[in-house]
Structure 1
Amino acid sequence: MKLTEFKFDGASIHISSEGQGVPVVLIHGLSGSGRWWRHNTAALIQEYCVHVIDLAGFGQARRQKALGVREAARLVAAWLENAGLMNVTLIGHSMGGHISLHVAALSPERVSRLVLASPSGLLRRRFRQSVLALPQALVVGRKRFLAQILGDAWRAGPRNLLISSRDLLRDSVQDILPSITALTLIIWGARDVLVPLAIGDMLVHSIQGSRLVVIPGAGHVVMVDAAPTFNRLVLEFLAESRDVKTGHV
């Protein structure tokens, strides 16, 4: 595994990279870290070069101020350009999906596929409402993952959590959805109480050619709650979309 840090405009992200082939970039959500993808990377590195990002203010990049979603997207887009990555698949969870949409709009020539796991980009909810929904969201998901969630939140700290949560609730991706050209798969947990499934319905009707899949029994952290199903859906989507891009059937 290769570990790198990319600095741009006073902020940095940490990236762990493994595997060979077409690049797949994983972006975690609010209060998360790259470790939230540990149930998914093994399935992906068999066929792809997987880059797992720790966003500014979180995970290995936690010793700095968190960025707003659009600032974070500019930082990720700058890294894609600096690394010379093309034909990229972005896989983002919650805030990471929100950021992925902005990256796809900023770098359409580099981002060819999107997998959005319960993205927050159209979430219209007051800050207090989101805070009140957190306890229920925590108990819905896989109990063994709760320690990881709480540990990453503690490491990020209340300041970074507050900055990020308030910014993502203020920001909307509605203005950029018509410009998204990447082939898009949207995955939702049927028991997600933090980001309602209705947002998935709005996204699939707003992103041309996108597809929405709902996984029964899974909560907000769908790639952990239903990892085998999530991995299968992603691998099938990547294989299908590769054939579409190359003109194969």
Structure 2
Amino acid sequence: MIDTPAISPIEAWCAVSRLRYSAAGAGERVIALLHGWGDTKEIWHATIAALSARTRVFALDLPGHGGSPLDGAERMQHIAGRVAAFCTAQEIHRITLVGHSMGGNVALELTLTHPHLVERLALVAPAALGSAMPPYTRLYLQDGYGWAALRASLLLYRGLDALARHWRPIAGMERVLPGLRRATCAAHHDPEGLRRLLNGLFANSLDERLDQVCVPTLVINGDRDPIVPAELSRRVAAAIPDAQFVALRGALHHPMDEQPEVFQRVLLEFLA
């Protein structure tokens, strides 16, 4: 079992990058955690606890999520630019990126455009091969019913958020309801902003650029992930020179939340 002491990360705002973030730990080594589409930095709470005992760690709300305004950052290149601006504002010269799903796409984009900045890369179910992802992942982009489906999903999340706030038994069901916690964090996202970001994500398929990644890279995927199937992450790892691939048995799309101890062990071994 990994020793993950209880921590209270500092919550702050970076005016330069216009990003809300959590920060914990200390030291020369710096790690940034980038969440996926529709999530927030809160999915990294357990990961921050595990990492902050060893290093300085930041978890960012990406544009259009949580406490960070979209401000026109609809393309993955724009988001990568704002993460780079965050690093400049924090006087970070070398960083390890851990990116999940859309955050994996952003992490790759930042690594490719700012190779002097990124020293290591961990990709968790990276949405890097947009053209190969399952057709149902584009549901919200379909004309007509896609917009309605997205709004209906957010209304459902808001109902779950209200239930979680007023029904005490839910608060103690940590192992059973990780999906509910994620839904309550996503409940108040702007549907128009999410749709624009999803379109920007699929527009940035990185198939032909992966062989240009020149930093040590780990790719992690749940073997039951329906959003980014493990085979796609195997392809990403195979395309990046000397990248490692690890499949987590029984995990879906959020292994940091579904199997936190297993996920942390794999990540820490790579970072060591």
Q: Report the TM-score range of the alignment, normalised by the length of the smaller protein.
A: 0.7 to 0.9
Aligned partner letter, 1:5: W
Alignment match, 1:138: none
Alignment match, 2:23: 17
Deviations 1:105-129 (A, max 9, x none): 1221121111100010112258962
Alignment match, 1:38: 45
Give the unaligned 5+ runs of structure 1.
Answer: 136-141, 240-249
| Counterpart secondary structure, 1:40 | helix
- Matches of 1:180 and 1:85, distance apart in 2: 20
Cα 1:127–1:197 change in 2 (3 A) is: closer
Check conservation: 2:33, 2:44, Cα contact below 8 A.
yes
Q: Which of 79, 83, 86 matches 1:76?
A: 83
Give the unaligned 5+ runs of structure 2.
Answer: 1-8, 141-149, 154-174
Q: State the shift of 1:6 in Å.
A: 2.8
Amino-acid identity (%): 29
Q: Which of 189, 204, 213 matches 1:180?
A: 213
Q: How does 1:221-232 map to 2 (within 5 A)?
A: 221-232=254-265
| Counterpart secondary structure, 1:99 | helix
| Counterpart secondary structure, 1:101 | helix
- Matches of 1:234 and 1:122, distance apart in 2: 22
Larger CA deviation: 166-175 vs 228-237: 166-175
Aligned-CA RMSD value: 2.3
Q: State the shift of 1:182 in Å.
A: 1.5
Q: State the shift of 1:236 in Å.
A: 0.8
- Matches of 2:55 and 2:241, distance apart in 1: 26
Aligned partner letter, 1:156: H
Check conservation: 2:19, 2:61, Cα contact below 8 A.
yes
Runs of 4+ in structure 1 deviating by more than 6 angstroms, as ranges, are none
Deviations 1:163-219 (A, max 9, x none): 111111121112431221111000000110011112112111111110000000000
Alignment match, 2:196: 163
Q: TM-score scaled to structure 2, two decimals?
A: 0.78
Check conservation: 1:66, 1:163, Cα contact below 8 A.
no
Check conservation: 2:18, 2:69, Cα contact below 8 A.
no
Check conservation: 1:177, 1:207, Cα contact below 8 A.
yes
Deviations 1:34-60 (A, max 9, x none): 101112111100001011101111112
Deviations 1:100-159 (A, max 9, x none): 001111221121111100010112258962155999xxxxxx751222222233211211
Alignment match, 1:243: none
- Matches of 1:126 and 1:44, distance apart in 2: 31
Q: TM-score scaled to structure 1, two decimals?
A: 0.85
- Matches of 1:113 and 1:155, distance apart in 2: 33
Q: Which has the larger radius of gyration?
A: 2
Pair 1:96-2:129 in alignment? no
